[in-house]
Amino acid sequence: MSLNFFRRVAFGLSPIDKKPDDPLPWALSQLNTVPDLLWPGSIPAEKELRKKYGEWVYGDREVLRKKFKNDKNEYKKAKDDLRLKTGERYFELNEHAIRHYQTKFSQQPVFERFWLFWGNHFAISEKDFLAEFSTGPYQREIIRPNMVKTFEEMVHSVTTSWCMIHHLDNSESVGPNSRRGLESRDTINENHARELLELHTVSPSAGYTQEDVIQLAYIMTGWGHKWSRKNLETGDVWFDQEKHQKGEKQVLGVKYKNDAKRELAKVIHDLATHPVCIEFVSTKLCRHFITDEPTVEMINPVIEAWNKSNGNLIEIHKAVIKQAFKYNDTTHKFHPPEIWLMQLSRMFDLNIPLSADRMNYNFKSRPTNRQRQLSWILREIGHSPYRAKQPNGWSDVEADWVSPELLLRRFWFASVELPRLVKSENQLHDFIISCLKNNFNNYESMTSLIHQFRFGTTEKDLGRKFGVICNLPGVLKV
């Protein structure tokens, strides 16, 4: 069996990982439970970070802008101070550390790969201050625990999460015939309804119409943050009957009688169990783990597992892994930059993320360069995970990741930046060879490529070794 299976479904094997005797059962056994987050540093709760978000927007919008309306420079200074005080510059760095620590050390790395998948399926794109305060905890508290439940439960949690609601403006949506709508003549905001159909569940191939989008938006009216003068838009999610569109609704031919907050769970049930949804999401899973253009034969067993288990994600994940195993030696999958970085970090035991101690923050000064390092690397290689440009998240196909600049960024990282992340005890040539041996069947030909640099341990020598090694065809893809 090809060793690349460990990179196909996980992050490769670290120097201390024991090589599994039987790869398939090894992978399948990792999906039954939600592993704890291992990060020894601070892991703040979503609600706590939302409070910080509130302090930041309230402080800026309601206090500073008014206080310094005639003094641009003083305003700027005060705003920068507020950034530090509320951690606006810090929390995303900490979230990246939590995430990468997990993919580096988790004993259920296959689970972690699915975690990345679902976080991107239900992506929060760059908007307002979500990446700064909310997207990370959303990944931890909304996506993660639902990965051992049903897809329907996952969709429901995501749809009613503060982060997604804020991301897709559902709090702005008011039923025109609701009490509020009649009073203020406010109307619906279709954004969330459209993405729930298009991206999260049935996809455009279900053939929904503009009217379906409107009707779903009606059902969703009332679900929003509880606004208050003090918390502004950072209040908890609730259902506001005053904004809810009255009357019967119809989505994709199914009628939903006027039933206030209960309408949402019913329509989510129908969408999440719709055959087109099952096919759409199964295809996406296969694309992520097998190849860009998965065939019907690859996808069908996943659909069957989905139907048989009523959308139980544990069973669905297992079916995907079985297919990934089956097609491991006959398909190729190009990995996006973040997964590539996580794999290099695990395989070569790189010095990222920074230790939890040093990640500690004083809320007084700017985060240090070392604290910012991982996030900076992610951005420079073109894949800052919580800053997708659009709600469809990061692309999962090779063509979107192969461009002169994106490839050059990888060459740059491997040859210039990575050598600075090699621990001093790991600089010996033999260590690098042993890492290659753990992870690549053709490690001998890889070794011969860097043989000429075998005695060098300067940063430049390491750069020459890793520059080539990390960008070989068999490393950029499996």
Partner 1 sequence: MNCTRRNFLIGGSTTLFLSGFFPKLSFASMQKKNLIIISLRGGMDGLTAVPVIGDKRLKKLRKKLILEDVLKLNSDFGLHPKLEIFHELWQNDKAAFVHATNIPYTGRSHFDGQNLMETGAHIPYKEKTGWLGRGLLASDIVGKGLAISLPMPLLLRGVPQNNNFFPSPDFVETKLIDQIYDEFKGDHNELIKSTLDTIRQRPLSMQIATDSDDKKKLAQEAAKQLKDQSGPRVAVFELDGFDTHAAQGGVDGAHADELEEVNEIVKILYENLGQAFDNTLILTLTEFGRTIKQNGGYGTEHGYGSAILMAGGLLKKSQVYTDWPGLKKKELFEGRDLNSTIDSRAVYNSAMSMCFDKDPEFLRREVFWGDDLPDLTEELFKI
- Which chain residues interact with partner 1 by CB under 8 A? 169, 172-174, 184, 186-191, 194, 198-199, 204, 210, 213, 332, 380, 382, 389-392, 395, 398-409, 411-412, 415-417, 449, 464, 467-468, 471-473, 476-477
DSSP 196-257: IIIIISS-GGG---HHHHHHHHHHHTTEEE--BTTTBTTSPEEE-GGGSPPS-EEETTEEE-
Nearer CB in complex with partner 1: 12/419: 419
Nearer CB in complex with partner 1: 147/469: 469
Q: Fill in the DSSP letter of residue 19.
A: P
The span from the CA of 382 to the CA of 402, in Å, is: 11
In the complex, minimum distance from the CB of residue 269 to partner 1, in angstroms, rounded to a whole number? 23
Q: How many CB atoms lie within 10 A of CB 18?
A: 7
Phi, psi torsion values for 235, nearest 5 degrees: -70, 165
In the complex, minimum distance from the CB of residue 190 to partner 1, in angstroms, rounded to a whole number? 6
Nearer CB in complex with partner 1: 17/233: 233
In the complex, minimum distance from the CB of residue 411 to partner 1, in angstroms, rounded to a whole number? 4
Question: Reduced to 3 states, what is the DSSP secondary structure of residue 71?
Answer: coil
In the complex, minimum distance from the CB of residue 227 to partner 1, in angstroms, rounded to a whole number? 12
In the complex, minimum distance from the CB of residue 373 to partner 1, in angstroms, rounded to a whole number? 12
Identify the helix (H) or strand (E) that includes residue 288.
helix 275-289
Tokens of 182: 């009649």
In the complex, minimum distance from the CB of residue 112 to partner 1, in angstroms, rounded to a whole number? 25
Nearer CB in complex with partner 1: 85/477: 477
In the complex, minimum distance from the CB of residue 474 to partner 1, in angstroms, rounded to a whole number? 9
C-alpha distances in angstroms, 224 versus 7, 227, 230, 254, 267? 40, 9, 16, 24, 17
Nearer CB in complex with partner 1: 405/425: 405
Nearer CB in complex with partner 1: 31/199: 199
- By the 10 Å C-beta count (0-12 exposed, 13-18 middle, 19+ buried), 472 is classed as middle
Q: Are the CB atoms for 128 and 60 separated by under 8 Å?
A: no
Among residues 203, 132, 191, which one has the least CA distance to residue 164? 191
Nearer CB in complex with partner 1: 126/153: 126
Please report, in angstroms and rounded to a whole number, the separation of the first and last CA atoms in the chain. 13
Tokens of 402: 């192969």
Question: Reduced to 3 states, what is the DSSP secondary structure of residue 247?
Answer: coil
